Structure 1
């Protein structure tokens, strides 16, 4: 069975829509849905606490910290880390478990954005490629519980780029797969900053990391650009 772990911060708008989608798209192989809240100031916590389908966990803010917290509480044999604005495909739970049974103990889905733009459509096509440079957190991540703890979980030093950092370690295990179904994620950051500004920011973060930038340097650069 699968434990879905969703780190959130002020997701009152997106979360109810996602939960309904997960219920409709799954084949009943979900043991629990854990909402790990990093101190939301909107109605996120209240909504979760009154929804019997969900387990609410309070955490320090920071996706790596929140996802590790969720993993510590999770009961399923497979963890599925999902962003609050990303919608997995039909039968996603069966697809994940089928991959695990084939000894592919970690992986993600192909990804497309909910915005029709030629560049974003092209980026979505690259997610078909099973290579570390084509990965990102919006594609979601499943990983067998034993493997997750074996590699030490998410590196909590990273406040940004935490998904890529753990995926790089999973690739070294040579068990990472791409499920050939589409997850659909929100393009809200691209809409906020503009497509080209957002893409350039991601390129900067990627190359800074390749050149040895620390987790703090990545965080500082990301939020400086985000708020400029």
Structure 2
């Protein structure tokens, strides 16, 4: 079984579309467990998920509550997951057709952790370039929007997502996987929303992200990076 873990906060406009997609584009939805981890939504997200779960008995869908914070939500989802493979997915990212079979085959071929290549749902030239580079195995080309699969055994071995950091939780986990040479990029394309880029301005937001990356490289603390993120990116 694959446990798909999706952190949400006020996703009423998109969560049902994603759940329908995951059910319809899986190779075998009956072998999936979908765990929606709500961080305190005050819209209709919780009701919509619960209604979907009742109406779709062909796929296991359940909702749990968590403290707000993606690292906390991801890890809390992992604690209740029962699958041998964990698949962490953002609420605005859509994996390729037969994504479940692609992940299972990657694990069978001794790739215990990894992601998909990624394309933004945008025709902006810069976002097309960013997506193009995700085909390479470099750590610098990785990010949470590409999703993250990992076997339960390996997840527990490396300690999972850290719940005490407010930013970079995806990259922190990815870094630990690269350090033990356990990362594989499945050569199929996931599509993700470019909404935040277009809201903030593509070049402006990319500059903010690069600044965070550079400051981290130069030794900035997580709290300093988070303060900058809140002021520029949130």
Provide TM-score, normalisation by structure 1: 0.97
- Structure 1 segment 86-165 matched on structure 2, within 5 A: 86-165=93-172
Alignment check: 8 A CA contact 1:3 1:80 kept: yes
Aligned to 1:211: 218
Cα distance in 2 for partners of 1:216, 1:154 equals 17
Aligned to 1:42: 43
Alignment check: 8 A CA contact 1:103 1:175 kept: no
Alignment check: 8 A CA contact 2:16 2:52 kept: no
* SS of alignment partner, residue 111 of structure 1: strand
- Structure 1 segment 1-228 matched on structure 2, within 5 A: 1-28=1-28, 30-52=31-53, 53-226=60-233
After superposing on structure 2, the runs of 4+ consecutive aligned residues of structure 1 that deviate more than 3 Å are none
1:104 deviates by 0.5
What RMSD in Å do the two structures reach over aligned CA positions?
A: 1.0
Cα distance in 2 for partners of 1:45, 1:54 equals 12
1:165 deviates by 0.8
1:33 deviates by 0.2
Structure 1 stretches lacking a partner, 5+ long: none
Cα distance in 1 for partners of 2:222, 2:42 equals 26
1:213 deviates by 1.6
1:54 deviates by 1.7
Cα distance in 2 for partners of 1:216, 1:153 equals 20
Cα distance in 2 for partners of 1:15, 1:152 equals 29
| Number of residue pairs matched by the alignment | 227
Structure 2 stretches lacking a partner, 5+ long: 54-59
1:158 deviates by 2.1
Deviation per CA, 1:108-137, whole angstroms, max 9, x where unpaired? Answer: 000000011111000001100101100011
Alignment check: 8 A CA contact 1:107 1:142 kept: yes
